[in-house]
Structures are given as C-alpha cells and as structure tokens.
Amino acid sequence: MVCVARGANAAATAAAIAASGGKAEALGVDVTDAAAVEGLIKGVIDRYGKLDILVSNAGITRDQLMLRMKRSDWDEVLATNLTASFTLCQAALRPMIRARAGRIIAISSVVGQMGNAGQANYAASKAGLIGFCKSLAREVASRQVTVNVVAPGFIETDMTRALADEAKTDWSTLIPLGRIGTPAEIAAAVGFLASDEASYITGQVLAVNGGMYM
C-alpha cells in the first residue's frame, strides 16, 4: 500500500499498517500541485507496475458565514477538496484503464448532502465530489473501474477533537444513533468498496453518519 498525504498523516497511517502486519510506503505531496500529483502516480507505477485502488481523502475547512467569507477561503477549500480529486483521478485512470481494473473511492461528507451554515465552501466541495464521481463512474464502468463515494457524518478526528464539548453534545443530539462515529467505521466502508465483494457497485454514495442524514 502507498499512503499519500499532505503533512504527517501518511507516515502515521503507514506505521499503523506496519504495526498490524501489513506493508506500506508513506509519500508526501501537495495535492493542489498538479505536476507533483502526476509525478507521484507515475512513480508508483514505475515502482509497482500497477495501481489498484485510489482513495481520495484530502480535505480542509475554512468555515465562515457567506457574507464574511474571503475568496481565498473559497478557493483553498475547492482546490484541496475537489480539484485535487480531479487531478488524482485523471492521473490514476490511465493505468487502471489499461489494466481494465481499478477502484476509486472519494471521501465526501454529510455536509455535502445536507448543507451546513458557515460551510458553504466545504459543502460545495463535498457535494461536487458526489457529482464528479457519479459522472466518472459512468465513463469508466466499461473498463471495469468502479467509482464510489463514502460520506461520513460527525467523526472523531483531529478536526472534531478541537471542538468544545458543548458543541460535540449539540452535534450528538442530531444523530439518531446518539454518538459520534469513529475513523475505523469509515475505514471499514472504504475497505468494503475496495474489495472484490463490491465489484458490482459503482456510482454510489455510502453514507456512514449514524442516521444524521437519511
């Protein structure tokens, strides 16, 4: 497995995989740099000969009410959350189509499905991912490449841990299952869509949100 991230997340993921008995290589890349992304994908193919699975998981927030949102806040979020997926998928599709096999999984958000005040940029980027993946799924299905989306709800991450306890409680009241989700539950959904058991599933959005949006 090759783990790619903006920052230290890739190394942490690779270490966790190694600790569980797997093998992983951690590579860092700025996903908003198209040339760097294309070079990275080429490097993976040169070293390993193929690319089986792409999980597009880069994401940032720049939350602000619309009347106060800076254009740079909009541009940065769209560049990282949406345009980077375009660049990654375009580079990854070439070897996948040649091999007539592949799995592409994008991580969207419940906010991309239901919206959220103060997150117009984030919601637009995550909703855009859904439309992008549904369209791409239709384009590449004949080449046996599947494209799906996982849409997490409120998940315990570094981003959400920064929220005050009161805010977390407020969010939990909106979740029918009554609790915040875990990264392992998102990973399980991604693992399923990447597996042979999901070979007849494409163009779908798998919501993992505790019933927050139905």
CB atoms within 10 A of CB 161: 8
Specify the pLDDT at position 163.
Answer: 61
Asked if residue 6 has pLDDT above 60, the reply is no
Cβ proximity of 152 and 124 under 8 Å: no
Domain assignment of residue 80, given as a range: 62-208
What pLDDT shows up at residue 73? 97
pLDDT of 165: 63
Answer whether residue 126 is part of any domain.
Answer: yes
CATH number of the domain bearing residue 160: 3.40.50.720
Residue-wise pLDDT tens digits, 155-181: 988 766 766 565 566 777 889 999 899
In a domain, 155, yes or no: yes
List the catalytic residue out of 48, 122, 200, 213: 122
**Residue 16 placed within a domain:** no
Tokens 């299952």 -> residue: 177
Total count of domains within the chain: 1
pTM attached to this predicted model? 0.91
Question: Each residue of 30-73: pLDDT tens digit?
Answer: 999 999 999 999 999 999 999 999 999 999 999 999 999 999 99
What is the per-residue pLDDT for 13? 76
Assigned domain for 151 exists: yes
Task: Choose the weakest-confidence range: 18-22, 105-109, 178-182, 205-209.
Answer: 18-22
10 Å CB burial of residue 164 (0-12, 13-18, 19+) is exposed
Q: Of 124, 126, 120, 123, which is closest to residue 108 (Cα–Cα)? A: 126
Tell whether 50 is covered by a domain. Answer: no
Residue 22's identity, in one-letter code, is: G
Please indicate, yes or no, if residue 17 is contained in any of the structural domains: no
Is the residue at 156 inside a domain?
yes
DSSP-derived letter for residue 79 is I
Is residue 88 a part of any domain in this protein?
A: yes
122 is catalytic: yes
